[in-house]
């Protein structure tokens, strides 16, 4: 009961934020929402299926570049279209990459995904004509549900319509993922994580289901990427850099990969923490590295792991 009440309070708070808080924190929440969606996907891979991908940023970058391409080069402004294309692109890319990667386990999987992530980064960096090289491609303001909101300036747009749109997308993504996690596939994936060999022996196609998880995660990642690109207005190669993937994993760990809401908590915590630390010192990476070490050693279940465990279903 307490949890439900807390949940409602949180949602109410989020809905009211634009009216309560100054613009800056609001604009911080936007990437948090975006990362939340991307992390929901990563959590399916890591928390549920036990596959640690160090290349998830590839799909986030893919989403961002899709948004950039469509708005800048193709003059397609409808955000719905952008999201759809990004999801499709992610699926298309994820199929060959996934087929390859799920044949390997654990460390090999992690390194292979890392390599693919960096491959994409190199591609983005080098193919100037296509991708704008190290400068990236700009992302123009998209239209939401057909409306351009031309009367609003950037901040007004971001803290107004876009904020609610992003929140709605996050809610939708969370609901979808919840459904997936509680589906037969979700159970099969958890079995694979627990004991892949035994899973095979009870008739679960280990490789194939891992592949499904991979593609789903990719789609979520790309959708998150499109959302991420709008506030910054830019899609650049660093989005695919391996440390970005590492950050994603960090966020997940911070929030707690055991819990369904872990990704969302982790994304928000990371963004705000990063903002805070960056304002203190330029050596934020060191601080974060140390923080990650502390988490891994002492709090592997993340922030949500600190809560008392919920009663078993």
Of the candidate residues 122, 130, 134, 171, the single one contacting another protein (CB under 8 A): 122
The least CB distance from residue 39 to another protein, in Å, is: 15
CB of 13 to another protein, least distance (A): 29
Cα separation of 105 and 92, whole Å? 22
Report if residue 310 touches another protein, rule: CB under 8 A: no
Kindly identify the residues of this chain, within the stretch 179-218, that bind another protein according to CB under 8 A: 179-180, 182-188, 190-191, 194-195, 197-206, 208-209, 212
Give the contacts of 206 (CB within 8 A, at least 6 positions apart): 192, 196, 199, 200
Length of the chain: 313
- Report in angstroms how near the CB of residue 143 gets to another protein at its nearest: 30
Least distance from another protein to the Cβ atom of residue 149, Å? 34
Q: How far apart are CA 260 and CA 43, in angstroms?
A: 8
In the window 222-281, what residues touch another protein (CB under 8 A)? Answer: 242-243, 246, 249, 253
**Is the CB of 154 or the CB of 198 nearer to another protein?**
198
Long-range Cβ pairs for the range 118-127 (8 Å, 24+): 118/55, 118/240, 118/241, 118/242, 120/55, 120/58, 120/61, 120/62, 120/240, 121/61, 121/237, 121/238, 121/240, 121/241, 121/242, 124/61, 124/65, 124/236, 124/237, 124/240, 125/237
Using CB under 8 A as the binding rule, whether residue 17 contacts another protein is answered as no
Handedness of CA 245, 250, 256, 261 (dihedral sign): negative
Q: Cα–Cα distance between 74 and 84 in angstroms, integer?
A: 15
User: Shortest approach of another protein to residue 21 CB, angstroms?
Assistant: 30
Query: Strand runs (DSSP E) across 163-275, as ranges?
Result: 234-235
User: Which pair of structure tokens corresponds to residue 157?
Assistant: 């747009």
Nearer to another protein, 16 or 243 (CB): 243
Spell out the alpha helix ranges (H) of 102-160.
106-126, 128-131, 154-159
Residue of 57, 86, 114, 248 that binds another protein (CB under 8 A): 114
Q: Is 57 in the site for another protein (CB under 8 A)?
A: no
Minimal distance, residue 118 CB to another protein, in Å: 5
Is residue 297 a contact point for another protein (CB under 8 A)? yes
Binding residues vs another protein (CB under 8 A) = 46, 50, 52, 100, 104-108, 110-112, 114-116, 118-119, 122-123, 125-126, 179-180, 182-188, 190-191, 194-195, 197-206, 208-209, 212, 242-243, 246, 249, 253, 283-286, 288-293, 296-297, 300, 312-313
């Amino acid at each position: 009961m307490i949890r439900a009440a807390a949940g409602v309070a949180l949602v109410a708070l989020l809905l009211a934020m634009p009216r309560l808080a100054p613009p800056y924190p609001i604009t911080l929440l936007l990437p948090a929402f975006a990362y939340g969606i991307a992390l929901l996907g990563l959590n399916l891979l890591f928390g549920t299926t036990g596959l640690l991908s160090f290349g998830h940023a590839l799909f986030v970058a893919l989403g961002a570049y899709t948004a950039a391409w469509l708005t800048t080069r193709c003059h397609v402004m409808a955000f719905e279209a952008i999201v759809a294309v990004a999801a499709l692109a992610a699926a298309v890319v994820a199929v060959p990459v996934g087929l390859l990667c799920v044949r390997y386990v654990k460390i090999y999987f992690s390194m292979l995904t890392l390599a693919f992530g960096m491959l994409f980064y190199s591609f983005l960096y080098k193919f100037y004509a296509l991708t704008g090289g190290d400068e990236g491609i700009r992302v123009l303001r998209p239209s939401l549900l057909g409306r351009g909101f031309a009367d609003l300036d950037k901040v007004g747009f971001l803290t107004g319509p876009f904020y609610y749109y992003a929140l709605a997308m996050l809610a939708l993504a969370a609901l979808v993922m919840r459904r997936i996690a509680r589906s037969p596939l979700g159970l099969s994936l958890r079995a694979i994580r627990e004991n892949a060999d035994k899973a095979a022996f009870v008739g679960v196609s280990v490789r194939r289901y891992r592949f499904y998880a991979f593609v789903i995660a990719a789609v979520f990642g790309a959708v998150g990427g499109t959302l991420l690109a709008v506030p910054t207005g830019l899609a650049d190669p660093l989005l695919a850099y391996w440390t970005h993937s590492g950050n994603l994993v960090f966020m997940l760990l911070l929030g707690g990969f055991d819990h369904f809401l872990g990704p969302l908590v982790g994304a928000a915590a990371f963004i705000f923490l990063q903002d805070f630390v960056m304002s203190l010192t330029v050596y934020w990476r060191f601080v974060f590295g140390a923080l990650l070490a502390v988490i891994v050693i002492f709090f592997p279940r993340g922030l949500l792991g600190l809560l008392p465990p919920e009663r078993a279903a």
